[in-house]
Chains A and B, each alone.
Chain A
Amino acid sequence: MSDHTRYQDDIGAYLLGALNDLERQAFERHLTGCSECRDELERLRPAADALPGSVVQLDPSPGLKQRLMAEVEGDSKVVPLEPHRRRPTRLLAVAAVLLLGIVVGFGVAQLGGDDSRTVTATVAKAMPQAGGNLEISGDDGTLRLHDMPDLGGARVYQVWYQHDEQLVPARTFEVGRSGMGTVELRNVESADGVFVTREARGGAQVPSEDPIVSVPL
């Protein structure tokens, strides 16, 4: 039996979660190079995706939602800056410049004709080639960074919004080997600043380091 035939037989078991870890990893490696198996997987996927909906539909107790939302509400309180970071917005940005030895200054370039503007990002001295900007249009923005170090699999970059003296966790992103990162940011116009740190995969609720990218607004 060829490798391909063997893996083709695994497609149903894979979709049903019935391969052991080693088999699943081997199958996924095969998938990356086999369009025939990928096509067959996607063809059968709707059937597997429908299975959870096949069960008798029941109501959980109201207490479940109450317990869950109590935990969520507790988690979602914004993160106050630690005492040593508790300072006005512009001072925070200036402090970051002094602390990290920023090599790219920050400035604001107004684009004419509409309500968009582009703010240059400041980056840490440890990344001499890196740079980027935040383009804001209306309420939302796009952060574009280049020549950022690839953090590999364990760590990711994370964006933070600053509101007054609080840092609010936002999206994580990776740059890959290209070093390019593009992140869409919603409602960024109301923030006092945007920062980027390096965090464990999955993101953090509190930044673990001083920002390596700063965009004062």
Chain B
Amino acid sequence: MAHDIRDLADEEVMQLVQRGDPRAFELLYDRHGGAAYSLAYRIVGKQATAEDVVQEALLSIWRSRLRYDQTRGSVRNWILGIVRNRAIDGLRRSSVHDRRREPFEGFEERFEARERTDVEVARREEARTVRGALQTLPDEQRQTIELAYFGGFTHTQIAELLHEPVGTVKGRMRLGLDKMRRQLVEGVA
């Protein structure tokens, strides 16, 4: 048995969280809180709102920790999925203009996470890689994916926004994800 919980994998830490160990939960926050906040900020676009989203989402995770099922995906994806859904819930109550916002890369880069630890270096490197894969998609595929994932629009809403048939929008989503997967998993551009 490991003597330091920092040596444990997320799934093992989650078992401690499920037993109600707040130190284990703090460790999960240290590992994924930055990614959760960055995702929430990308979606809602305001620091205070993003922090509220993360606080509410992570507290709901703590309180429903027994629902985590290891067979349905990683702890990180589970956490980020809940943060995304919570942020989208808030966004769906706001205006279409807010939901179509593009990331203000220049502005955000000035506040980008400082690289203090190996984890943060890896987090930024991963972000650059995935962002690079997203940027290589044809514009209409990237836009459709971003409107859906970060804007919370359904495929029918996106079809109306872009004046395109629903089938076209769904096709762009699938083709775009396939192209991203080939780049990220297979290294094929």
Q: Name A's B-contacting residues (CB within 8 A).
A: 9-13, 15-20, 43-44, 46-61, 63-65, 67-69, 71-73, 75-76, 78, 158, 168-172, 186-187, 201-203
Given contacts A52-B39, A57-B123, A64-B55, contact A17 B88 (CB under 8 A): yes
Question: What chain A residues lie within 8 Å of B185 (beta carbons)?
Answer: 46-47
Given contacts A44-B174, A55-B38, contact A16 B123 (CB under 8 A): no
Question: What chain A residues lie within 8 Å of B133 (beta carbons)?
Answer: 50, 54
Q: Name B's A-contacting residues (CB within 8 A).
A: 15, 18-22, 25-26, 29, 33-35, 37-39, 41-42, 47, 50-51, 54-55, 58-59, 62-64, 66-67, 73, 77, 80, 83-85, 88, 103, 105, 108-109, 111-114, 120, 123-124, 126-127, 130-131, 133-134, 145, 148-150, 152-156, 158, 167, 169-178, 180-181, 184-185
B171 touches A9 (CB 8 A): yes
Q: Which of A17, A54, A58, A187 contacts B130 (CB 8 A)?
A: A54
B103 touches A18 (CB 8 A): no
Question: What chain A residues lie within 8 Å of B173 (beta carbons)?
Answer: 12-13, 15-16, 18
Given contacts A59-B34, A61-B51, contact A17 B131 (CB under 8 A): no
Q: Using CB atoms, name the residue of chain B closest to A40.
A: B174
Q: Which of A17, A47, A58, A170 contacts B41 (CB 8 A)?
A: A58
| Nearest CB on A from B26, distance (A) | 6
| Nearest CB on B from A174, distance (A) | 11
Assembled-state Cα–Cα distance A172/B68 (Å): 11
Q: Using CB atoms, name the residue of chain B closest to A59.
A: B113
Q: Which of A56, A186, A201 contacts B109 (CB 8 A)?
A: A56
Q: Using CB atoms, name the residue of chain A closest to B81.
A: A52
Q: Using CB atoms, name the residue of chain B closest to A158.
A: B66
Question: What chain A residues lie within 8 Å of B58 (beta carbons)?
Answer: 68
Q: Which of A65, A72, A158 has most B Cβ within 10 Å?
A: A72
Q: Which of B20, B66, B114 contacts A59 (CB 8 A)?
A: B114
A-B pairs with beta carbons under 8 Å apart, 8 shown? A9-B174, A13-B155, A44-B178, A48-B149, A54-B133, A59-B111, A64-B55, A186-B15
